Structures are given as structure tokens and as C-alpha cells.
Amino acid sequence: MTDAILLTPGPLTTSAETKAAMLSDWGSWDAAFNALTASVCSDLVDIVDGRDEHVCVPLQGSGTFAVEAALGTLVPKTGKVLVPDNGSYCKRIVRILGYLGRQAVVLAHGEQEPADPQRIEAALAADRSITHVAQVHCETGTGILNPLAEIASVVARHDRGLIIDAMSSYGALPIDARTLRFDALIAASGKCLEGVPGMGFVIARRTTLGGASGNSASLAMDLHDQWQYMQKTGQWRFTPPTHVLAALRAAVDQYRAQGGRPARLARYTANCAALVGGMRTLGLKTFLPDALQAPIIVTFHSPPDPAYDFADFYRRVREKGFILYPGKLTAVDTFRVGCIGAIGADTLRAAVTAIAASLREMGVVRLGST
């Protein structure tokens, strides 16, 4: 049976080489595995040119584990975090801060509105007790791209800490630690690097992480403790995701051989163009204007036709070999289609054909707004 193509923001479709890397077993304390960990962490820092001031701390679990670990470790117990909120993953950060007992200041934006650097600057100027800004770079609830460089400049000018959720942008969209100041950048193995899910990581400013001892209320989520232990022993504190790391090593090797970040962005941009062009030809409408759309995942308005039902639509498209994502918006009925993974533009064009056939089978006639 052929695997379905995952048109999602992660997990995503991986290459045969990445899958094959998981066929070997590794000892978690073995010198060869420790060397594997060190090599991956070194390359992850290099992808954002952060070697001078930053270190990579890997963590077992999904990207959200790493987000919670970064917030809980790098924000002091008395810290106060500004969260520009224009989507579901911003709201998740606010929820995490509540669990951690850290103060959150929510700067509400519309779901079609990028985070506004001027409003962030005004909020920081008005409240000197804000210690950090937690910014989602690409909000995959909609696919919107927030202006990270401008926001980082504002945060640096006010001398506050910046924690970036770069889950769906790291490895594809430009982020350069030499010109963009941040305390932490958070991503995961199963996104634009095209590894498999199971490992998050935090690229943290070395001096900030070094001063974060005692902040975390969780042993498992304490990035400072994880970093210190790895520095001393080369090992993970607790059982590592050995096969996930081996797959990531293979994925990063392919990433570099294929041309690194510029090549990855070019392929995803071509994928996005093929998808959006094809869907618009069918009559389906994107939720975001092109100027705000990141080439990671695209949100489409659901057809305003009584014959349309997402569960039926999903099933029919899946039978044709493609797995879609439901919408994440509360006020608008949508669905999402990812552009990332070990796929090319031809795959997205085939997906559009499958979507068109599925809608015809359902008797859906009205595809655009009424």
C-alpha cells in the first residue's frame, strides 16, 4: 500500500533516505550516538548563522514541548511576556504561560492582520515591566507570515528578550542570528527540515541560557539542566528519541546537499504557487491575500454549498492519496493545505486534481463566496 501524501504542516512526507535512516538502532549512551547528537546540534545552529552567540538544546517531544521548555526556562518566575496574538499558536503560547504561572500581556490582532511592530513598540514603551516578547513567525493556523525582522528590531531597541516560535519557518524562511537579535528560537524535527516528528529544539543565546538556572519548575522541561548535562557528558539526561535524531541527521544532510535554505524556500514557493493557482482556477478562495501568505500552508474558504461537508471531502481526497488539514479559525469555515515536505510542484498539481474530483463527486457546485 502506497503512503498518502501529507499536505499538512507536520508531520509531513519524508524522503526514502530519511525513512531508511530509522532502520538502525542506537545506544543512547554510545559514543557514536553522542557524536550524532553533537553534529546535528551544530548544524542546526549554523542554519541561522548563530554559532558565535547561540547554542542548540534538543528536547524529546513535539514542538510544543520545546516552546513550553523555552518559556519556562528563559522567562523568570517574575517575568512578564507580551504576546502579539493573530492566531491559534499565539493563543497556545498564552495558555502555556498560564500553566507556567508567568504573566502574559495579549496584544490582540485580527486573524488576517500581521503582528504590528508599531503596536508592539507602543506596548513596550507603555509597560516597562514587560520582560519578553513571544512572537510566532509563521502562524500556521492561517499561514500568515509575521514581520520578524522589524519586530526583533523593536524588541532589541527596548532591550527586552525575544522568544521566537519559528516552528514552521526555520530552515526555509530567512532568519540570521548575526543581524536579528533573539534570546531563543524554537523549531522541531518534523517541519521544514523534513525529518520525522519527535524532537523539538531551542537555539538559545548562550549568556541568557547560562543565567536561567532555577527558573524552570519542571525537571523534564529544564533547558538549562539539559544543556549543562550535555556540556559535561555529551549525553541526553533521559532516554533520547534515537531514531528521530538519526532521521534528522539524514534529513539535514539532504537539506545541505540540495542547496540549504534558499533552495528549500524556492521549492516551497513553487509548491505554494502551483497549489494556489490551481485552487483559484477551480474557484476556491484563499483566506489570506498573497502579500501575507507564507509558502508553508494555505488556508482556503470552504465552499458555501450545502453539499459540502469537510469530513466527506477529507475522506474522498484521502482515498485519492492526499491528506489535508482542517481549518483552525473560529469565525470562518476553512480547510488548510500544506506546501512543505519532500514533495514538488507536480504533487501539488495532482492534489488540486484530486480535490476537484472529490468536490464533483460530492455534487458541490458553488465554490466561491455567495
Whether the CB-CB separation of 197 and 215 falls below 8 Å is answered with no
Tally Cβ neighbours within 10 Å of residue 227: 22
- Tens of pLDDT, residue by residue over 184-201, are 999 999 999 999 999 999
Residue 327's pLDDT is 87
Residue position matching grid coordinates 500556521: 140
- Give the amino acid at 41: C
Radius of gyration of the chain (CA): 21
Q: What is the pTM of this model?
A: 0.96
Whether the CB-CB separation of 194 and 158 falls below 8 Å is answered with no
Tally Cβ neighbours within 10 Å of residue 240: 22
- Helix pair 310-319, 345-362: axis angle to 10 deg: 130
- Tens of pLDDT, residue by residue over 223-240, are 999 999 999 999 999 999
Residue 2's pLDDT is 76
What domains, with CATH codes, occur in the chain? 21-257 (3.40.640.10), 260-362 (3.90.1150.10)
Residue 9's pLDDT is 86
Please list the ranges in the chain whose pLDDT falls under 50. Answer: 370
